[in-house]
Structure 1
Amino acid sequence: MKYQNVLLLLVLTLLTLPISAKADKPSLQEMIDAADDGDTLIVSPGSYTENITITKPVTLIGEHKATIQSCKNAPVLTIKGEHVQLSNITIEQCNKNDEGSPAIYVTGRNHVLTNLIINTEQIGIQLNEANQIRIEKSTLTGNRKHNSIDLWASSNNVITSLQINNVLDGIYLEQSNSNEITNNFIQNARYGIHLMFSDYVLVEKNHSQHNFAGAMVMQAKETFIKDNEFSFNNQNVNSQGLLLYQTNNTIVTDNMFTSNRIGSFIEETSGAQFNNNTFESNTIGIQMKRAFNNRLSENIFNGNVNDAQAIESADNLIEHNYWDTSLKLDINGDSISEIPHAADPYFLTLIQWVPEYQLFFQHPGITLLKQVFNSPTETLLMDYHPSMNSGIINSHQKEDKQISLWFLGVFFTIFNLYFIQKWRRFS
């Protein structure tokens, strides 16, 4: 009996040890509060159900599968002050309140957020009066109701190398100037990139696809949109690859607009420059509405249902673009056609009057009607000096192709001469 009591006491002691150890383990917030400025804290693998606030310059680095989660109506992680760094951590925000808090709330300056996985029912990362923040190499997934990255009055930030899916707006800026948005992949959103009242923003090398609109720029100036791919943004009859609305001096260059409802829609905009872009396989390549003093030059229009349309627009310079539907005649060898090209949206105008005529797309009868009856003059975009060169085959490829064809021609010539000579001998 005595040994049984001792054994029972030993078992009870062992059972209580893990509980005591767990109780003694500090929370992440306690670790942060106890850290000194400049310290690096390692977040061990596992799930931490906490709402954390960081107000001092420390670094949090997560080990494999370190997850911080919360369903409270508060940010899972709040960052303030300066020089906070956060990396290699999964953030899960499960609060489904319609006006809930973001997964990560950031204010202050000079913070770095990298290699994060964020799954949220709310905004992914919200910057409020936050400057010189770098957000990079992260994955953000939402529920189509809230923005992924949301900036308010935040400037000189870099947002790069993100994978964004299933959100309201992929990257949303309001009253936020001089930001860089680069190398992001955004899909299944309302607007992939959405700029409101935000000037001097760089949008470069992003892929925005399968959204209501690839990018929307509204009431902004000096926006630079370069080397992006806007594709398959056709979820709605009003979908566009790029929408410019009431913007000034926007530069759009070296972009691909592919398989969108409208490649680019320019409305109440002036001073925009479209150079070296490719508009391919869109329902409408480019559309202008009440747009003045813009320039379209050296762009490629290839395989669109309608290349271009102008509505109440004037004084726009259209020159040196390649139109696959244009008549081409180069007399002096300068790669510029002597025949002006009128981008005539005849079929588009026709189906607006009679939608059923969509069944006759590319029918010979429609082509004949287009030649006999032109669209109203105000809907035409006239390129008086269209390019002969599509730019699809560069000069080196063209030379290689010509050399290959030359060798092939010589080979068949020799073969034919040999065959004729042989045939004559037998006959």
Structure 2
Amino acid sequence: MRNFFLGALTILSVLLAYGSASAATIYVPGPYASIQAALDAAGADDTVIVKGDEYTENIVIRKPVTLISELGPAKTTVKAAVDGEPVIMIDGAKDVTLSGFTVTGSLVSGILLSKASGAVVTNNRALNNGYGITVLDSNSNTITGNTSSFNSDYGIFLQRSNENVVENNTANSNRDKGFFISYSSRNRIENNNANMNVWNGITIWASNNNIIKGNLTLRNAFGIVIEDSDGNELINNTTLPNIFIILPIFLIYIGILTYGAQKLILRLVYRS
């Protein structure tokens, strides 16, 4: 019996030691010169912490890891080495956390989730890319607290992706739409800002049973547009499209012209 307990304690000690050793923290730069090299070396549930600097890479994450910056997106930038690839891609992985980066320079997407689930993408800036943040064929992810602005297409794009939470993000001054939800259902789009985009603030296209709540869409061509979609809930959103800004200015301008014309006509009448 005593040998049994000793054996059990030995096994438990080994398991505890393995558990504590299995979640490591890797700094970049450090043992690895690049972020991708550190991710390749990381095990499941490891954390890679990136020190403040500018990095030129295309990063692919294929395992459940945490990738965060030490100093936040204002001081940690990743620029695409190859502009035809996403800056950071979560490819088929579960339970990834990505936080604290500015991503720029991709003609495809700043951040791309492809067949990912359980990811948390938070506190990032996706600036001057094709799409800012893309969620493709990915379910049950959280996209929160990001800024996705000045991109050539959409700020945040969901395609064939369901049951995601998209909240507290800003998508301003994109050259197409702020948020585009396409063939995606049962998502929660809440408390986001989509302002001064060239086209729509938020577009729901062929997507059903989404909750669109508490969003602010100002000075877009149109605020919120829903097409070919059923069962979507719109709750307490604020919209002010450009037409309501431009129309009063136009009317004032017409008024000034009319007033000037009337004065000219009256002068001619009295002179004659």
Q: 3-state SS of the aligned residue for 1:33?
A: helix
Partner of 1:195: 204
Identity across aligned pairs (percent)? 28
Partner of 1:112: 120
Partner of 1:206: 215
Q: 3-state SS of the aligned residue for 2:184?
A: coil
- Contact (CA 8 Å) 2:57, 2:81: kept in 1 or not? no
After TM superposition, what 4+ stretches of structure 1 lie above 2 angstroms from structure 2? 22-26, 259-262
Partner of 1:57: 64
Q: Which amino acid aligns with 1:77?
A: I
Q: What is the CA-CA distance between 1:120 and the residue it aligns to?
A: 2.1
Q: CA distance change for structure 1 residues 199 and 23 in 2, over 3 Å: closer, same or farther?
A: closer
Question: 1:24 and 1:176 mapped to 2: Cα distance?
Answer: 41
Of 124, 130, 134 in structure 2, the residue corresponding to residue 126 of structure 1 is 134
**1:294-313 mapped onto 2 (5 Å cutoff):** none
Q: 3-state SS of the aligned residue for 2:242?
A: coil
Question: 1:183 and 1:260 mapped to 2: Cα distance?
Answer: 23
Q: What is the CA-CA distance between 1:41 and the residue it aligns to?
A: 1.1
Q: What is the CA-CA distance between 1:23 and the residue it aligns to?
A: 11
Partner of 2:76: 66
**1:387-398 mapped onto 2 (5 Å cutoff):** none
**1:326-405 mapped onto 2 (5 Å cutoff):** none
Q: CA distance change for structure 1 residues 172 and 48 in 2, over 3 Å: closer, same or farther?
A: same
Q: What is the CA-CA distance between 1:103 and the residue it aligns to?
A: 1.2
- Contact (CA 8 Å) 1:187, 1:210: kept in 2 or not? yes
Q: What is the CA-CA distance between 1:140 and the residue it aligns to?
A: 1.3
Q: Does 1:76 align with 2:87?
A: yes
Q: CA distance change for structure 1 residues 129 and 211 in 2, over 3 Å: closer, same or farther?
A: same
Q: Does 1:27 align with 2:20?
A: no
**1:262-273 mapped onto 2 (5 Å cutoff):** none
Partner of 1:3: none
Question: 1:173 and 1:139 mapped to 2: Cα distance?
Answer: 17
Q: What is the CA-CA distance between 1:82 and the residue it aligns to?
A: 0.6
Q: Does 1:40 align with 2:74?
A: no
Q: What is the CA-CA distance between 1:75 and the residue it aligns to?
A: 0.5
Q: Does 1:178 align with 2:186?
A: yes
Q: What is the CA-CA distance between 1:121 and the residue it aligns to?
A: 2.9
Of 85, 88, 99 in structure 2, the residue corresponding to residue 87 of structure 1 is 99
**1:157-176 mapped onto 2 (5 Å cutoff):** 157-167=164-174, 168-176=176-184
Q: What is the CA-CA distance between 1:86 and the residue it aligns to?
A: 0.5
Q: 3-state SS of the aligned residue for 2:40?
A: helix
- Contact (CA 8 Å) 2:58, 2:81: kept in 1 or not? no
Q: What is the CA-CA distance between 1:91 and the residue it aligns to?
A: 1.1
Q: 3-state SS of the aligned residue for 1:105?
A: strand
Q: Does 1:228 align with 2:240?
A: no
Q: Which amino acid aligns with 1:204?
A: K
Q: What is the CA-CA distance between 1:53 and the residue it aligns to?
A: 0.4
Q: What is the CA-CA distance between 1:116 and the residue it aligns to?
A: 0.6
Question: 2:226 and 2:237 mapped to 1: Cα distance?
Answer: 14
Larger Rg: 1
- Contact (CA 8 Å) 2:50, 2:68: kept in 1 or not? yes
Q: Under a length normalisation based on structure 1, what TM-score does the superposition of the two structures give?
A: 0.48
Q: Which amino acid aligns with 1:33?
A: D
Q: CA distance change for structure 1 residues 24 and 181 in 2, over 3 Å: closer, same or farther?
A: closer
Q: 3-state SS of the aligned residue for 1:130?
A: coil
Question: 2:98 and 2:242 mapped to 1: Cα distance?
Answer: 37
- Which blocks of at least 5 consecutive residues in structure 2 are unaligned? 1-28, 260-272
Q: Which amino acid aligns with 1:83?
A: D
Q: What is the CA-CA distance between 1:224 and the residue it aligns to?
A: 0.5
- Contact (CA 8 Å) 1:122, 1:142: kept in 2 or not? no
Question: 1:27 and 1:103 mapped to 2: Cα distance?
Answer: 18
Q: What is the CA-CA distance between 1:101 and the residue it aligns to?
A: 1.3
What is the aligned length? Answer: 219
Question: 1:199 and 1:57 mapped to 2: Cα distance?
Answer: 30
- Which structure has the higher relative contact order (CA within 8 Å, separation 6+)? 2
Question: 2:39 and 2:177 mapped to 1: Cα distance?
Answer: 32
Q: What is the CA-CA distance between 1:68 and the residue it aligns to?
A: 1.1
